[in-house]
Amino acid sequence: MKADMIITGIKTLYNPNQVPPVKGFNMSKIENIDNPFIAIKDGKILDYGTHDCHGYIDSKTTLLDAKGKICLPGLIDSHTHLVHAGSREHEFSQLRQGIPYLDILKQGGGILGTVEKTKAASFNELYLKAYQSLNTFLSYGITTLEAKSGYGLSLDTEVKQLMVAEKLNQNHPIHVVSTYMGAHAVPLKFKHNRSSYINQIKQDMEIIKEKKLASFVDVFCETGVFDLKETKEILEKAKALGFKIKIHADEIDPLGGAGLGVDLNASSVDHLMAIKDEDIKKLAQANTIANILPGTSFYLNKPYANARKIIDEGCAISISSDYNPGSCPTENFQLIMQLAANHQKLKPEEILNAVTINAAYHLGLDKEKGSIQKGKDADLILLDIPNLSYMLYHFGINHVNDVIINGKHIIKS
Ligand code: NIG
Ligand code: FE
């Protein structure tokens, strides 16, 4: 078979572990291949390695010389709040004065402030803003991204957000996976009648399912938001409807959301800055991924999740941006990886497994994405740096020169 494209001149290909979930000590293992070729056919990896590739070439094959760049699989951001209106720079100074994030929310600001703006925004406004953000993510090497709703808290606006994400998935080169997050906050009018809001979420989920607008349901399990019992009630209904589930767990207070996630067989439990030791042990026995979001700790000036301990105890981690207007307003995914290296003491190999194969696994995409393997989608990035460690050392800037998604050369150096 002849290839549509052959990439040569790659200094080193860094490929994560092929068998997810990659846990504990295995997170330090990756495959390094010097001077390989990668052959692409019909948007998929046809072959790769150091053997002779001339048999794949005919007059129609595009030859791409990487000119000594390194190659990685496309990066996967498995936790974002992509679709929203407006910004919250006014809260930035409140946070810096020491006003707690949850107090801003209690007073109707925070998430609830973004809800007001998102309700008022048109489909097109939301689409254009999110499209711009995806372009920035793309330039930093993101080829797959999860996008949550949760800035509507009412069916019409949640559906609007999810339909924006659906259209972005159709029109933007980045593959977008959608999550319904009506349980992101309790609207003020339901403050004294929480159970009615929970019932509304349970009904709305049925409609979201019918419309096929989301694969996952997520709940913000936190003091003053949804407690453990409410989280369980919502997620049990989500599972019964056939959704896969996630939890914003143990972000600020150690409520035990991570342990609940294991009990409910969640795909991921996310944040974990305040995870209990017993729940780390539970996670190590499970296939639920610990999704670490260091950009949120950085922006909120909070402690980082103890990712070193989480891996050393045998768990599988992924790393995501949590991109959102209130607790992590950045699309610079390489900065997120650098924070994990520096503040969470993670090795380059662990970070690579976290942002590729483990992220693909908990998004249910590991058969087609997350590593360079024959038959998988040809999602690749080329970086003009000498090695993988350099990417985490030279921080704050973009090292990605080329992005290929489904075999298409989207960003060219
Ligand atoms: O993951 N924790 C809850 N949700 C987001 C923040 C959303 C916001 O502040 O707008 C998060 O940090
Ligand atoms: Fe989040």
Q: Name the residue ranges covered by the structural domains of the chain.
A: 5-73+370-411, 76-362
As a CATH number, domain 5-73+370-411 is 2.30.40.10
Look up residue 399 and give its two tokens.
């090292």
Distance 80 CA to ligand 1 centre (A): 9
Rg (CA), the chain: 21
Q: Do domains 5-73+370-411 and 76-362 have the same CATH topology?
A: no
Verify whether ligand 1 is closer than 6 Å to residue 150 (CB atom): no
Per-residue CA distances from 397 to 151, 235, 325, 393 (Å) = 30, 39, 21, 10
The pLDDT tens digits along the chain (413 residues) read: 999 999 999 999 999 999 999 999 999 999 999 999 999 999 999 999 999 999 999 999 999 999 999 999 999 999 999 999 999 999 999 999 999 988 998 888 999 999 999 999 999 999 999 999 999 999 999 999 999 999 999 999 999 999 999 999 999 999 999 999 999 999 999 999 999 999 999 999 999 999 999 999 999 999 999 999 999 999 999 999 999 999 999 999 999 999 999 999 999 999 999 999 999 999 999 999 999 999 999 999 999 999 999 999 999 999 999 999 999 999 999 999 999 999 999 999 999 999 999 999 999 999 999 999 999 999 999 999 999 999 999 999 999 999 999 999 999 99
* DSSP result, 365-409: -TTTSSS--TTSB--EEEE-SSSHHHHHHS-SS--EEEEEETTEE
Q: How far apart are CA 343 and CA 308, in angstroms?
A: 10
Q: Give the mutation target among 111, 300, 321 for probing the ligand 1 site: most ligand atoms within 8 A of CB.
A: 111
Verify whether ligand 1 is closer than 6 Å to residue 299 (CB atom): no
For the CA of 295, the nearest ligand: 1
Verify whether ligand 1 is closer than 6 Å to residue 324 (CB atom): yes
Nearest one of 90, 149, 165 to 115, comparing CA atoms:
149
pTM over 0.95: yes
As a CATH number, domain 76-362 is 3.20.20.140
Q: Regarding beta strands 62-65 and 5-8, do their DSSP bridges make them parallel or antiparallel, or are they unpaired?
A: parallel
Which atom belonging to ligand 1 lies closest to the Cα atom of 322?
Answer: 1
Please tell me the total number of residues recorded for the chain in this structure. Answer: 413
Which atom belonging to ligand 1 lies closest to the Cα atom of 222?
Answer: 2
